[in-house]
Amino acid sequence: SLAQLQRLEELDLGNNELYNLPETIGALFNLKDLWLDGNQLAEIPQEVGNLKNLLCLDVSENKLECLPEEISGLTSLTDLLVSQNLLQVLPDGIGKLRRLSILKVDQNKLIQLTDSIGDCESLTELVLTENQLQSLPKSIGKLKKLNNLNADRNKLTSLPKEIGGCCSLNVFSVRDNRLSRIPSEISQATELHVLDVAGNRLMYLPLSLTTLKLKALWLSDNQSQPLLTFQTDTDPETGEKILTCVLLPQMPSEPGCQDNLPRCGALESLVNEMSDETWNERAVNRVSAIRFLEDEKDEEDNEMRTLLRRATPHPGELKNMKKTVENLRNDMNAAKGLDSNKNEVNNAIDRVTTSV
């Protein structure tokens, strides 16, 4: 009987225990907002594609394994939220949603992103965080209005050079992926202000990055400042002019430290409440290397040009070191004072003896 509510514009069924929806929901032709988040839905009836006036559809936090191809009928849709489901792919019909502005597909199981995503010409925000994506389609460069693209915590091994076509891109985040390089075409996205590539496997950055007016560039999880001083160099394999700095190339993480990087190094003693003796022993054995290899030479020569960096002292140790130095300084000053007094006494005795 719900289908008889022909003038209904908003329907909020969120945070219930719904396992399915009646097909008659497609008869609510004037519906503009439909919230179905936080339920137990495993599928959405294909009749939902009849909702030509629907502006917002929220089906996040369900158990959806797929979306019906008929979703292409939602020609007025501007917001599509399907976060926290079990989706592996998006229907190709999503490309017909020409008014779609916000698409959130984070925390799913996406293994690929349909090429038709490039036809969503009004898209301004695309969130793909925490999926299984190994690549992004070339068609993504057609999204001229895209402002925010987030693909953190996927399995991306490369980025398409067409990414530079996203001329309105302001924030681009691909943290915690498997990227070894950033395409130089990224500089074509002239509105880019925030670039987050922390937690990847980058060997260098493209020189063209200097043409952008970046406000923040994140290369590592514990970086104290968003921007570093870079030096120009040449990629020995391709001859391409590149940018490098002390953080590039990054050495592989030690086993057991990949899941929780802040626990490594000096902070490990704080987290695990290690004794000073244990920390000192670990610190002596912990040596990290930054290697600058300009060309291929023998191993002995490479070892000669290797910079070694010792472990950072424990904060508690720094305080003790400071106190020790201060005590030594005070003792030295006191000793100098005693020596000065002793010399004056000796001089006085000598004068008396001489007089006698």
- Decide if 251 is inside a domain: no
Among 97-106, 184-193, 261-270, 312-321, whose mean pLDDT is lowest? Answer: 261-270
Domain count, the chain: 1
Mean pLDDT of 217-230: 63
pLDDT-based confidence at residue 37 (cuts at 50, 70, 90): very high
Paired tokens of 196: 């987050």
Residue 291 lies in a domain: no
Span 145-190, pLDDT tens digits: 999 999 999 999 999 999 999 999 999 999 999 998 999 999 999 9
The answer to whether position 235 is within a domain reads yes
**CA separation for the pair 302, 290 (Å, rounded):** 11
Q: What percent of the chain has pLDDT over 70?
A: 72
Q: Output the domain CATH number for residue 48.
A: 3.80.10.10
Q: Report pLDDT for 224.
A: 41
**Alpha carbon distance 106, 103 (integer Å):** 9
- Residue 308 within a domain: no
Q: Look at the alpha carbons of 6, 11, 17, 19 in this order and tell me if their dihedral is positive or negative.
A: positive
pLDDT at 128: 98
**What is the structure's pLDDT at 222?**
42
pLDDT above 60 for 210: yes
DSSP string, 174-208: --SS--S---GGGGG-TT--EEE-TTS--S-EEGG
Q: Is residue 188 part of a domain?
A: yes
Pick from 218, 26, 42: nearest CA to 34: 26
Q: Summarize pLDDT for 61-90 with one digit per residue, the tens.
A: 999 999 999 999 999 999 999 999 999 999
Confidence of residue 238 (pLDDT cuts 50, 70, 90): confident
CB-based contacts of 44, cutoff 8 Å, min separation 6: 21, 36, 59, 64, 67, 68, 71
Contact 188, 165 (CB under 8 A): yes
Q: Is 320 domain-assigned?
A: no
8-state DSSP, 140: G
- 276, part of any domain: no
In a domain, 141, yes or no: yes
pLDDT band at 334 (very low <50, low <70, confident <90, very high): confident
DSSP state of 311: P
Q: Select from 303, 286, 225, 221 the least CA-distant residue to 258.
A: 221
Pairing of strands 171-173, 194-196: parallel
Residue 298 reports pLDDT greater than 90: no
Which structural domain range is residue 51 located in?
A: 2-244
Give me the chain's average pLDDT, please: 81
Query: What is the rounded CA–CA span in Å between residue 29 and residue 52?
Result: 7
